[in-house]
Amino acid sequence: MSSGKCPNCGASTLTIPYGGSSQREVVVSCTYCNSRFSVNNPYYQPPVQEVRHTYNTTNYINYGPDRPRGWRYARDREHKFAKIAGYVIAILMIPFVLGIWIGYFLMAEPYPVFLPIGFTGFMLLFYLLASASDRELKRRKREGISY
């Protein structure tokens, strides 16, 4: 218990109730004039501030054996392999795809059109996979991430 003076009527018999240590202010009512007001809690203890340290480091994320699976978490060397292999296969397919299209237009009785379209699609698929890994590797390099 702690006592104080009423700011309204000046009575000095004001009693400040114990409001615990977590409340900054306590509500007091004067027994003489019945006015209610809040005063600083003399027992208030401010919470200990959490100290945060920020370190500027390379964001090396090591997920260990439980690392999430999927394209965005594939290892750098996997993306490098996908990039190189995808580009090489796509480039090697160019003369074959061109040949199958030329054959399709030159032959009197050509094979079904889904063959040249299908192989063109395969070539584009390898190219797109390679360029996606290429972009992902560039993004990681830009953001300083390494898997």
Alpha-carbon span 66 to 39, nearest angstrom: 54
Confirm or reject binding of residue 98 to Zn ion (CB under 5 A): no
Confirm or reject binding of residue 27 to Zn ion (CB under 5 A): no
Q: Which is nearer to Zn ion, 38 or 45 (CB)?
A: 38
- Taking residue 19's Cβ as centre, other Cβ atoms within 10 Å add up to 19
Q: Which is nearer to Zn ion, 4 or 87 (CB)?
A: 4
Q: Which is nearer to Zn ion, 10 or 110 (CB)?
A: 10
Interface with Zn ion (CB under 5 A), residue total: 7
Confirm or reject binding of residue 28 to Zn ion (CB under 5 A): no
- 145-146/14-16 β-pairing: unpaired
Residues in Cβ contact with 97 at an 8 Å cutoff, skipping those fewer than 6 apart? 116, 119, 120, 123
Q: Which is nearer to Zn ion, 36 or 80 (CB)?
A: 36
Confirm or reject binding of residue 9 to Zn ion (CB under 5 A): yes
Letters for 40-79 (x = contact with Zn ion by CB under 5 A, - = none) are ----------------------------------------
What are the angstrom distances between the C-alpha of 78 and each of 5, 67, 85, 127, 140? 76, 15, 10, 16, 13
Report phi then psi at 137, rounded to 5: -65, -40
* Site residues, Zn ion (CB under 5 A): 6, 8-9, 11, 30, 32-33
